[in-house]
Amino acid sequence: MLLNLKTIKKVIKNPFIVFKYFKKECTIYKDKIQILSNFFNKNEFRKFKKELYESGLIDELKSKEEWFYKNVEGKTVRGNLYGFGSMKYEEMEVIYALIRKRKPEILVETGVCNGVSSAIILYALYINEKGKLYSIDLPEFTEKKYDTNYFWEGKKGAAVPMGKESGWIIPEYLRLNWKLIIGRSQEKLPSLLKQLKSIDLFFHDSEHSFDCMWFEFNEVIKSLKKGGIIIADDINWNDAFVKFAEKYKKHAYNYKAKVGIMEI
């Protein structure tokens, strides 16, 4: 702030401008290279990514996705075609690499559906040889009749085939460090966090309404350890993630225009 006559006059007129100037502003970084270099050393991200693709897990998950699209058809009560509803693999790479690098012990996820994100998170824990994932999901089953207001009005077609369960694509050997909690995150998250006391990483991919995302982030921050991480998919659906970063004056990252990452 340059102290010229114009600025001095402005400050006399509105002294609060000084507080605004010194307030730590938050920035949401969007550049992929900048994001990766903030979290990883040179070549580290590439090494983790290679490890994930060479594991055979992604091929296994993709073949289950193929099965889904060959065998599932129909629409939700809201008129959306049923879909696999998973995170994209290129978005999961950064989450996988972060978990490999930071080696978190207690992780909480909301939004499992068929289980792509859970499987990849669990694989990172398996290779780390430490960590436990707690996942909350309110699944929508194909062919099941629901009241129109059972799920939030903006929900698309992400669904679990009738006869299967949330996370059905997760290989057996990864389930040892996994606890699945079925229910609405608004009801299940507070008691889970109370039981866990503190957590290292939170991943949101459940109800992308402003109210639900705002609720989850504000619940979770009370339990996140210092240096802990909040990750959220579809932060472009509303401004909850950005508002949350502003509320806590945190710099944050927007990876591939929709995955929010914030370090606490």
Ligand X SMILES: C[S@@+](CC[C@H](N)C(=O)[O-])C[C@H]1O[C@@H](n2cnc3c(N)ncnc32)[C@H](O)[C@@H]1O
By the criterion CB under 6 A, which residues form the site for ligand X?
85-87, 110-117, 136-140, 151, 155, 158, 184-186, 205-207, 212
Cα separation, 98 vs 94, in Å, equals 6
Nearer to ligand X, 8 or 162 (CB): 162
Q: Nearest CA to 158 among 259, 60, 85?
A: 85
- Using alpha carbons only, give the angle 187, 85, 207 rounded to the nearest 5 degrees: 25
Rounded least distance, CB 113 to ligand X, Å? 3
Helix (H) or strand (E) holding 133: strand 132-137
Residue where the block lists tokens 């009801």? 187
User: Quick one: 35 or 112, whose CB is closer to ligand X?
Assistant: 112
Task: Please report, to the nearest 10 degrees, the dihedral formed by the alpha carbons of residues 54, 86, 131, 236 taken in order.
Answer: 120
Which residue lies nearer to ligand X by CB, 200 or 216?
A: 216
Cβ contact 115:170 at 8 Å: yes
Minimal distance, residue 203 CB to ligand X, in Å = 8
Q: Looking at beta carbons only, is 109 or 200 nearer to ligand X?
A: 109
Q: Output the smallest distance, CB 129 to ligand X, in A.
A: 23
Contact present, 230 and 253 (Cβ < 8 Å)? no
- CB of residue 209 to ligand X, shortest distance in Å: 8
Least distance to ligand X, CB of residue 137, Å? 5
CB nearer to ligand X: pick between 118 and 223: 118
